[in-house]
Amino acid sequence: MDTAERALLADAVRKTLVSGADLADLGWPAMLVEEPDTVVPLLFRLLGETGTHAPVLNDVLLHAAGRPLGGTPPLPYSGGVRLEWVRDGSAYDSPLDPGLPLRRTEADDPALPLAAGRRALGWWLLGTGHAMLALARRHVLDRHQFGRPLASFQALRHRLAETYVALEGAEATLTAATDDTGAVLAKAAAGRAALTAARHCQQALGGIGFTAEHDLHRHVRRALVLDGLLGSSRELTRAAGVLLLREARTPRLVDL
């Protein structure tokens, strides 16, 4: 898929997500099977940027396991909790982010390969982080204080620059992730970057960022929930450290 085709696909996916239409009508199942390395980063990043959601994480995990699409596998969550992503419109209970159709389950599936899901969630977190950065950037450019735009204040510039660097680093890690260890590190990096974005962008937006009328709080809640799915950034960082200590070597993630 060349650059022009990717741009057309991104535009079609964005319109589908914003309109609330079914991704299956766009050919999502076929694209996942035929072009996973292209469509998964594109779709999940757009889910973050648009603040929408779809039960596509289920499909990514099921496809990685070689199982039929359409099911609801149990999803490990931070703290030993297991959730399922509801597909059928039945009741769910996601108190931190009521917009996500997640509910607790007692089911478990130790054989479910998580690497593909962690990479997908990493791209979703990356898109969410960029959405928060865009909101903060627009605010500091438009608002003035003491006769100067907020963007001229060095403290705010440093916060937004740190956010941008964290997001760029997470994207590089996601792009390089090709195995289980890479997926663990990429999900951890993306989670940390999204939480960094939430912290710094909240400071840049000030009081308005706490209001229900502003979009920031929706992205902050989304980042907190997605960070916990399939292992939080803290848990995955600890797991990567245990792996490195056990193997007494550092795996090569990128050939330079």
State pLDDT tens for residues 198-235.
999 999 988 887 788 889 999 999 999 999 999 999 99
Q: Return per-residue pLDDT of the chain as tens, 256 residues.
A: 788 888 999 999 999 999 999 999 999 999 999 999 999 999 999 999 999 999 999 999 999 999 999 999 999 999 999 999 998 877 787 777 888 999 999 999 999 999 999 999 999 999 999 999 999 999 888 887 787 888 778 888 999 999 999 999 999 999 999 899 999 999 999 999 999 999 999 999 888 877 888 899 999 999 999 999 999 999 999 988 888 888 776 666 666 5
SS3 labels along the chain? CCHHHHHHHHHHHHHHHHHCCCHHHHCHHHHHHHCHHHHHHHHHHHHHHHCCCCCHHHHHHHHHCCCCCCCCCCEEEHHHEEEEECCCCCCCCCCCCCCCCEEECCCCCCCCCCHHHHHHHHHHHHHHHHHHHHHHHHHHHHCEECCEEHHHCHHHHHHHHHHHHHHHHHHHHHHHCCCHHHHHHHHHHHHHHHHHHHHHHHHHHHHHHHCCCCCHHHHHHHHHHHHHECCCHHHHHHHHHHHHHHHCCCCCCCCC
pLDDT at 187: 97
Structural domains in the chain plus CATH codes: 3-104 (no CATH), 115-247 (1.20.140.10)
pLDDT at 254: 60
pLDDT at 3: 86
